[in-house]
């Protein structure tokens, strides 16, 4: 049992430990999941900023393009076109362009006029001029290019409806990107523009513009360029993370959300937003570290509790072992005390036996002259003294019965062995028991006998059998203090000789029934010794017999003594 208790305790401890670990893992998973949702929310926020930037840029570019379109279709430019068509002279057209907003705007760099696919005239603006030739793919509605100083700029294309003359006006990106980050983007956000046709990448942060060609990008922007190129090639809006080193060599973790050109509202170049996620990433790292630290502390605490539990459990085992040892020692002490009491009781019984034998001898000595003189007196009487003769006869008979009773009492004190065994009739033994128990029969108890074994059929010691049966009979009398019936039955069946004693007394409980053969166990209090039935059981075992008991509270008790049938050989 102790082994199973220890096993169950260990299994319970392991299960608790597993449950706690599972709980910690679930907490960690929830934190990670929450962090993931935070990252996803931040990505969506960045994508929303990219979409907002794209729509705002398109709105501003349409305003600029509308202004350019109005200038191209103004009367002065149309008259210059008509003069050029009529005379081939471009001065009037060039003069009209220089005087228009196409060149006079503070953001204008240059306007190039094409006819029949060939360059016709160039008109520099306030900001200087672009390179000698426009990059390939510039002649579209919107284009992102660089000027001769590698500054980013937009090229807006507009065609005259009457003369098929194309105007390409190049403006700086300031009017498009000016003050965009304040109402639209997060603090410190970087706007990214990428025109795959011209290979131009523009990054803008706090009014500082940087223009690069992908084929000549520096190492500082290589991660940004790789991220932008990869998203553009995939053709779907996406968020990427990359590492960026500024001019001071400091590392920054950037989150880049880019809308590819094919998905952007302008339909020409990709628009994106990059945010410095260094602090955000550090917060994630710090959160993860705190989570790990807390989990480690909890694990250490659980480990300490587990070790403490094991320590307490082992201490309890030691205490239980000591308690068992003390209980065992106490039991052995009680057993020795009980054995000592049994020995003392046996010594007292032996002493009583010796005294009984001595008293019986003395009474025999006293009864002998009484019986002798009574017999002599009866013999000397004549017929005239009939009444005296009867009195003397009563004295003689009483003395004879007393002598027989003393003889039977003395027989209890004698040690018997198998040499004293003889073939006996159960009925005659019961008659002797009835005679010895007659003085103890209460007036309110009726004894009914059904004796069916007159012939010798059991082999044993008469006095021991009388003692055994007498113990059972006296117990029955004491159980019927309020009156009742004792039935004694003898019989033979299937080679078994059965002697049954059935009373109508108070009966016994199950616990009492299980202990009646224990030495010194008694339900009579001080009136009993608790040795009658144990001695009876020992006598039955000596004779190869068996004693069975049936009893119910309030319904009486039945003792059955079962012998093997034995008949004297002829």
pLDDT at 369 over 90: no
The tokens describing 361, both together, are 């001898």
Least Cα distance to 550 among 520, 510, 492 occurs for: 510
Q: Give residue 8's pLDDT.
A: 63
- pLDDT number for residue 410: 61
Q: What is the pLDDT of residues 77-124, one digit of tens each?
A: 888 988 988 888 889 888 998 899 888 888 888 888 888 778 888 888
CATH class held by domain 416-564: alpha beta
What was the pLDDT predicted at 232?
Answer: 82
- Burial code (b: 16+ CB inside 10 Å, e: under 16) for 540-568 equals bebbebebeeebeeeebbbbbbbbeebee
277: phi then psi, degrees, rounded to nearest 5: -95, 15
Band (345; pLDDT cuts 50, 70, 90)? low
Average pLDDT over residues 303-321: 81
Q: What is the mean pLDDT of residues 408-413?
A: 56
Map residue 108 onto helix, strand or coil: strand
Domain ranges across the chain: 41-276, 416-564
**For residue 114, is it left (φ>0), alpha (ψ between -120 and 50) or beta?**
beta
Confidence of residue 501 (pLDDT cuts 50, 70, 90): very high
H or E element that contains 159 = strand 152-159
- Bridge partners of 171? 108, 154
Tell if the pTM clears 0.85, that is, is over it. Answer: no
Q: What's residue 220's pLDDT?
A: 44
End-to-end alpha carbon distance in the chain: 60
pLDDT band at 266 (very low <50, low <70, confident <90, very high): confident
Whole-number pLDDT of residue 388: 81
């Amino acid at each position: 049992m102790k082994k199973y208790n220890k096993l169950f305790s260990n299994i319970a401890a392991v299960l608790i430990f597993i449950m706690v670990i599972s709980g910690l893992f679930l907490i960690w998973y929830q934190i990670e999941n929450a962090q993931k949702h935070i990252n996803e929310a931040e990505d969506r926020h960045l994508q929303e900023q990219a979409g907002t930037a794209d729509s705002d840029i398109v709105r501003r570019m349409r305003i600029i393009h509308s202004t350019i379109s109005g200038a191209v279709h103004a009367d002065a430019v149309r008259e210059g076109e008509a003069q050029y068509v009529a005379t081939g002279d471009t001065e009037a057209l060039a003069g009209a362009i220089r005087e228009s907003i196409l060149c006079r705007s503070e953001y204008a760099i240059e306007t190039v006029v094409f006819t029949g696919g060939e360059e016709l005239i160039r008109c520099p603006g306030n900001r200087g001029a672009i390179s000698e030739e426009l990059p390939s793919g510039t002649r579209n509605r919107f284009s992102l290019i660089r000027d001769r100083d590698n500054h980013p700029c937009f090229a807006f294309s507009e065609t005259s409806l009457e003369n098929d003359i194309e105007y390409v006006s190049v403006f700086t990106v300031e009017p498009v990107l000016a003050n965009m980050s304040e109402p639209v983007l997060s603090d410190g956000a970087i706007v990214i523009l990428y025109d795959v046709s011209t290979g131009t990448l523009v990054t803008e942060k706090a009014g500082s513009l940087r223009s690069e060609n992908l084929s000549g990008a520096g190492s500082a922007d290589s991660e940004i360029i790789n991220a932008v190129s990869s998203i553009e090639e995939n053709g779907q809006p996406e968020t990427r993370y990359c590492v960026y080193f500024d001019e001071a060599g400091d590392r920054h973790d950037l989150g880049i959300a880019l809308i590819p050109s094919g998905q952007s509202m302008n339909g020409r170049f990709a628009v994106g937003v990059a945010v410095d996620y260094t602090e955000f990433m550090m917060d994630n790292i710090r959160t993860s570290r705190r989570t790990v630290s807390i989990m480690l502390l909890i694990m250490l605490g659980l480990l300490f509790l587990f070790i403490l539990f094991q320590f307490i459990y082992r201490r309890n085992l030691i205490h239980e072992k000591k308690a068992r040892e003390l209980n065992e020692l106490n039991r052995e002490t009680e057993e020795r005390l009980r054995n000592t009491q049994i020995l003392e009781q046996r010594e007292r019984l032996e002493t009583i036996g010796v005294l009984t034998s001595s008293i019986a001898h003395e009474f025999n000595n006293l009864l002998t002259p009484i019986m002798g003189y009574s017999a002599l007196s009866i013999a000397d009487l004549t017929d005239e003294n009939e009444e005296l003769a009867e009195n003397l006869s009563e004295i003689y008979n009483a003395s004879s019965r007393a002598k027989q009773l003393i003889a039977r009492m003395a027989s209890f004190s004698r040690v018997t062995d198998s040499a004293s065994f003889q073939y006996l009739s159960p009925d005659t033994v019961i008659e002797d028991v009835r005679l010895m128990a007659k003085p103890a029969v209460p007036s309110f108890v009726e004894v009914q006998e059904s004796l069916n074994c007159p012939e010798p059929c059991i082999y044993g010691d008469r006095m021991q059998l009388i003692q055994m049966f007498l113990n059972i009979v006296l117990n029955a009398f004491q159980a019927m203090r309020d009156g009742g019936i004792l039935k004694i039955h003898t019989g033979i069946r299937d080679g078994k000789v059965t002697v049954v004693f059935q009373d109508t007394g108070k009966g016994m409980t199950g616990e009492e029934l299980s202990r009646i053969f224990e030495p010194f166990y008694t339900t009579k209090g001080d009136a009993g010794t608790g040795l009658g039935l144990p001695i009876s059981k020992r006598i039955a075992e000596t004779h190869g017999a068996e004693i069975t008991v049936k009893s119910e509270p309030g319904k009486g008790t039945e003792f059955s003594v079962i012998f093997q049938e034995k008949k004297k050989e002829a």
